[in-house]
Amino acid sequence: MTPPRMTFRRALLLTHRWAGLVLGLVLVVIGVSGSILSFQREIDAVLNPALFRASGPPDPALSYSAIQRLAEVATGRPPGNIRPPDSIWPVWVVTPPRGARGATTAHFDPATGALLGERDSRGSFIGITRQLHEALLLRAWGGREAVGWLGVLLLIFALSGIWLWWPRDGAFGRALVLIRRRPMLLLNLDLHRVIGIWMAAVLAVVAFSGVVIVFPGWFRPLLGVAAPAQPPPARPGAGPMRLDADAAAAAALAHLPGQVATGVMLPSRQRPVWTVTLRPADSDPEVRGRTFITLDPWSAEVLEERGPPDT
């Protein structure tokens, strides 16, 4: 029997079929973990109630700088990021610098400044779920890049599915809903086509956005997005940094009035600048499209603003 001739459509069909088989299980893992992370803060607060229980309303005297000092005394090290109380996490949360080994996240009562507890957040349920979603628990072995390439395969899978589904007779509307009940083979095929085409556009967007996150350098020139600003060079003889956490937050708010500070990231050896995250004052605390303000640690000059232009 002569094997069927390999046409472009047949090659695309085989690619679509095998991509689906390869991606199926992995996409379930990434999809379920991503769904959990959509409610990560709420879940974390439920699983660790003692760490997120405030004894009273926030004390105005407990500012970013005050919490920084408390964290340095309690943990014996400089903090990495300071996050103020909000309606979801009603306590101060101080995380260690990125890459710090053996460091823990500290939680402080907003009313008294008392240390509520410390934990290794990377080993928590949400921390492990995030590692699973971002790198399939294989970050040290290139897991993040592997997830990015799986995103490329998913994009090919979605786009090839759309091309294979596209009706040759022009009956576009009918093809969107057509499900033949008999025989069973046609029913399964039509269910796959109809459900697949309604999901294909969503899958393509999810895949593309994931690839952009993992490989931003590929897309910055295409999207007209500049690379992150480089930290200012060291200043020999300039003395210690004059900016503190409160001054950094104030400088960012003065740059963008009408915002609320949602976190202050302290300078580190890898990135010796202050970074303040902001959101519109009238927005929900779970707003993800925050603005990032990078500040010179000596002069408080705004080095970079990243975020939606309408915020």
> Can you give the pLDDT at residue 300?
85
Nearby residues of 256 by Cβ (< 8 Å), 6 or more positions away: 278, 291, 293, 305, 311
> Can you give the pLDDT at residue 63?
96
Sheet holding 302-306, edge to edge: 115-119, 105-108, 92-95, 81-83, 259-265, 274-280, 291-295, 302-306
pLDDT along the chain (311 residues), means of 10: 68 74 81 92 94 95 96 91 93 88 88 95 91 90 89 84 76 70 75 79 86 82 64 56 86 93 90 91 74 89 80 43
C-alpha 243/C-alpha 15 separation (Å) is 56
The dihedral region occupied by 76, where left means phi > 0, alpha psi between -120 and 50, and beta the remainder, is left
pTM above 0.85, yes or no: no
Cβ count near 82 (within 10 Å): 25
> Can you give the pLDDT at residue 156?
82
For the chain, what are the domain ranges? 8-36+129-223, 49-123, 245-306
Q: What size, in residues, is the chain?
A: 311
